[in-house]
Amino acid sequence: MENKADIIKKVIQAFRSAAVKYCRGEELPIRVNTDVTASTREVHMIQAIGDNEQLGVTELARLFGTSKSAASQLVSRLSKKGFLKKKSSRKNNKEVRLVLTDLGWEAYKTHEQYHSKDMDYLVGKMETFSMSQIAMFLVMLESLDDIMEQRIEE
């Protein structure tokens, strides 16, 4: 019979396995059209910009839990690929407002279709669990998020 320590070890192993697969998945290409692909990470940023075109690099960094430098690099890559444009903010010339191009909106819509299939599957799986199980899972994920945040800040 497994004891608590054994089950905790299995949970940690399962989390590590899922985290590695998630990271690999973030690099997988998503075909936007016949000529263009974007990584999942790039499309997630495109989605965030499409959901709120008032976002700047600082807000994106905060939203994705990354440095401004890393967010800026990804924004520059997306701009070079033609997914977005940088526009000066009306409030402050130093601030940049990010706006999707037609290609950016095409990527946004492609991701919505791609993402909805995964979300439907995930929600279907989660609906098989009780409210208390889902709430406990959320508490555990929040704890893991706190640990990862501390690790990054060190």
Q: Domain spans of the chain?
A: 29-153
2: phi then psi, degrees, rounded to nearest 5: -75, 140
Whether the per-residue pLDDT at 81 is higher than 90: the answer is: yes
- Compute the distance between CA of residue 136 and CA of residue 153 in angstroms, rounded to an integer: 26
38, containing H or E segment: strand 37-39
What is the pLDDT of the chain when averaged over all its residues?
90
Write a three-state SS string for 20-32: HHHHHHHHCEEEC
8 Å CB contact between 105 and 91: no
8 Å CB contact between 96 and 79: no
Average pLDDT over residues 52-78: 90
Our measurement of the distance from residue 137's CA atom to the centroid of its chain's CA atoms, rounded to an integer in Å, reads 19
pTM of the shown model: 0.70
**30-34, 122-126, 129-133, 150-154: which range is least confident on average?**
150-154
pLDDT band at 137 (very low <50, low <70, confident <90, very high): very high
Per-residue pLDDT tens digits for 85-136: 988 877 776 778 899 999 999 999 998 888 788 889 999 999 999 999 999 9
Whether the per-residue pLDDT at 72 is higher than 90: the answer is: yes
Give the CATH number of domain 29-153: 1.10.10.10
87: phi then psi, degrees, rounded to nearest 5: -125, 145
What pLDDT shows up at residue 28?
84
What pLDDT shows up at residue 40?
86
